[in-house]
Amino acid sequence: MPRIASILMLILLLGGIAFGQDAPVETIWPLDLPTRYLTSNFMEYRPGRFHAGLDLKTQTVNGFAARAVEDGWIVRVRATPSAYGRAVYLRGDSGRTYVYAHLSRFNDQLRGFVNTQRERTGTYRARLQFNANQVRVKQGQVLGLTGESGTGGPHLHFEVRDRHNHPVEPQVLGFSVGDTIAPVIHHLRVWPVQAETLIQGAEQGHMLKAAGGLSGRLPELRVTGPVAFSARIIDAADIRGHRLEPSLIEVHLNGELVYRCENQSYDFSENALQRLEWVVMPGVREHWLYRHPANNLTGRQGGLWHLGTQGQGLAPGRHLLRLTAADRAGNVTAVEMDLVVDGGPHGVRALENQAWELDAPYPRISSPDSMSHIELTPFFDVDSEAVRSLVPGIRRREYRVQAGDPVQADMVMYSQPGVLTDGQREAAADQGLRPLAQAIQNSQSN
C-alpha cells in the first residue's frame, strides 16, 4: 500500500511535465476563501460529457472575489441564462486558459463591455471575443464575483485548459485541495458476456456489496465462460460527502496490470467516448473495468482482458483479481478476490453464497399484457423470431462502424411504441428531436 501511495505522489509531482507544460507556472488560488472544498471534480460523469474542471465551494453564498491566477489577458466573456451563465476566459501568459463560470457579476470593466453589447443587440445573451492583450489583467486582479448564474447552488466552476484548449486536471497544476478520505468501492458487479455464461451456477449477473463499501479480501467468485466487471466507486474530499470521481482506477489480474483509468486530460471532441467507459441504464451508472479498443482517451490502458485470448473467457483455473481506486491526494482503497474459472457447468445449489447476490439490472421491453418480455443485455443480442413475437411493433436496428454509421463501436438497438408526455415532448423539442411516424397525431413514439 505505501508503494502505491508513493507512485501516486510521484505522478502529482511530475504532473506539470506529464501534461506537456513548458515550465512550472506560479499561480494563486482563484478564490478569496480560507478553505478549499469541492462539490465536483475533474472528468466526473455528466449526461453525454465529462465535467471539464472543479466546482469550488463558496460556503453556500454568492459574492466572493474570483481572481486571476496568473498574469494574462481576457480572451472571452459570455453571459447566458443557462450552461456556464456569466463566465470569464483568461489566457495566462503561460499559454493556459482558465475558465471562471457561474459568476454573479463581472468586474466593472468587463461589465461595461457586456452592457454595451446588450444595448446594441437588445438581448440578454452576450458573447464577446477579445484580441490578444486587448484586455490585460494582473495576477490577483478581481475578474468578477462568484454566484450561481446558469446553474443551481452557489459555487465557482473553474477550469484549466492547455495550449490546445484541452481541459486538464487542475489538481496537478497547483490547484489541489486537502483530502484524507479514500474512495469507496460501493459494489462490484459481474455480467455474463455470452448467453451460455454461468456465474455462481446461474445465467444471471451477480453483485457484491457491503455497508460502508468493500474492502480487503472478497469472497471468491466462480464462473463458466466469459464475464465482465463493473464497479460503483465514489470519492469524497470532505465530511460533507459530495460525490466525486476517483482519479485513478486499476485492475490487476494475477499481478499484471490489465486496466488503468486515470483522469488527466481530454479533448472536447472526445466527450462521446464516455459511453464506452460507463454502463448507464435504469438504476445503474458505474464504471466498466476494462478498456474498449475504441477508447483512446489519455490515461487509459489495457483492453478486453476479461475475454481471454480468443473471446472464450479467461483460462480455466484460479485467478487473483485486484481492484484499486485512488484520489489525487494519494488516498487508496484496494480489494482482491479469487476468480475461479470452470471448464463446465455447475449447479446453483452447490455454489450458494450469501455474499454474491443474484442481480439482473437489464432493461425489459414488455408485451402489452406484461406477461412476456425481452430482457436486453449489453453483451449479446437476444434477437429471434420468438422474441420479436412477444412485443408487437418492436423494432431492431444495427449500427456498424465499418458501414460508416455514426457510432464508436458496433451496437444493436431495440425500440417499441410508447406514449410521450407533454414534458417529454418539450424536452425533445429543446434538443432538436421530434417523435417518429404517427406519434405526432396520437402521442405514440418509438
pLDDT band at 302; cut points 50, 70, 90: very high
Q: Is residue 110 part of a domain?
A: yes
Same domain, 326 and 418: no
Q: Among 304, 331, 359, which residue terminates a domain?
A: 359
Q: Are residues 381 and 352 in the same domain?
A: no
Which pLDDT does position 101 carry in this prediction?
A: 97
Instruction: State how far the Cα of 125 lies from the Cα of 134, in Å rounded to an integer.
Output: 22
Same domain, 231 and 156: no
406 and 304 fall within a common domain: no
- CATH no. for residue 124? 2.70.70.10
Label residue 49 by pLDDT band (50, 70, 90).
very high
Are 299 and 225 in a shared domain?
yes
Beta strand extents in 201-264 (DSSP E only): 205-214, 216-217, 221-224, 227-234, 248-253, 256-262
Residue 178 lies in a domain: no
- pLDDT given at position 34: 86
Asked whether residue 6 falls in the same domain as residue 140, the answer is: yes
Determine how many CB atoms are found less than 10 A away from the CB of residue 217: 10
The Cβ of residue 300 has, within 10 Å, a number of other Cβ atoms equal to 19
Please check whether residue 281 lies inside any domain of the structure: yes
- Phi, then psi, of 429 in degrees rounded to 5: -65, -35
Q: Residue holding cell 444493436?
A: 412
Region 212-223: mean pLDDT is 95
Q: What is the DSSP letter of 441?
A: H
Give domain status of residue 177, yes or no: no
Q: 42 and 158 in one domain?
A: yes
Banded model confidence at residue 345, pLDDT cuts 50, 70, 90: low
User: 225 and 342, same structural domain?
Assistant: yes
Q: Is residue 179 part of a domain?
A: no
Q: What's 303's domain CATH number?
A: 2.60.40.10
**What is the C-alpha to C-alpha distance for residues 274 and 204, in angstroms, rounded to an integer?**
26
Q: What share of the chain is helix, strand, coil (3-state, %, to 5)?
A: 15, 40, 45
* pLDDT 10s digits, 323-342: 999 999 999 999 999 999 98
Statement to judge: residues 343 and 399 lie in one domain: no
**pLDDT above 80: residue 16:** no
Assess whether 355 and 369 both reside in one domain: no
pLDDT (average), residues 2-20: 41
Does residue 63 fall inside a structural domain? Answer: yes
- The pLDDT value recorded for residue 48 is 87
Q: Which domain holds residue 95?
A: 2-172
Cell numbers describing residue 183: 474512495
Of 359, 392, 421, which marks where a domain is finished?
359
Given the DSSP bridges, would you call strands 332-342 and 221-224 parallel, antiparallel or unpaired?
parallel
User: Over pLDDT 70: what percentage of the chain?
Assistant: 84
Q: Indicate the average pLDDT of the chain.
A: 86
pLDDT at 10: 38
Other C-beta atoms closer than 10 Å to the C-beta of 372 total 14
The mean-pLDDT minimum among 91-100, 296-305, 318-327, 399-408 falls in 399-408
Among 110, 142, 172, give the residue marking a domain's end. Answer: 172
Report pLDDT for 12. Answer: 39
pTM of the entire predicted model = 0.85
- In the prediction, which pLDDT does 367 show? 65
The CA angle 67-331-27, to the nearest 5 degrees, is: 20
| Least confident stretch, 237-241, 267-271, 335-339 | 237-241
Rounded Cα distance, 190 and 200, in Å? 10
DSSP state of 361: -
Same domain membership, residue 368 and residue 352: no
Number of domains composing the chain: 3
Checking if the pLDDT of 133 tops 80, the result is yes
Contact 296, 273 (CB under 8 A): yes
Give me the pLDDT at residue 75, please.
98
Question: What pLDDT, in 10s, does the model give residues 388-401?
Answer: 676 767 778 888 98
Highest mean pLDDT among 13-17, 335-339, 357-361, 427-431: 335-339
> Could you tell me the sign of the dihedral formed by the alpha carbons of 222, 223, 226, 230, in that order?
negative
234 and 322 assigned to the same domain: yes
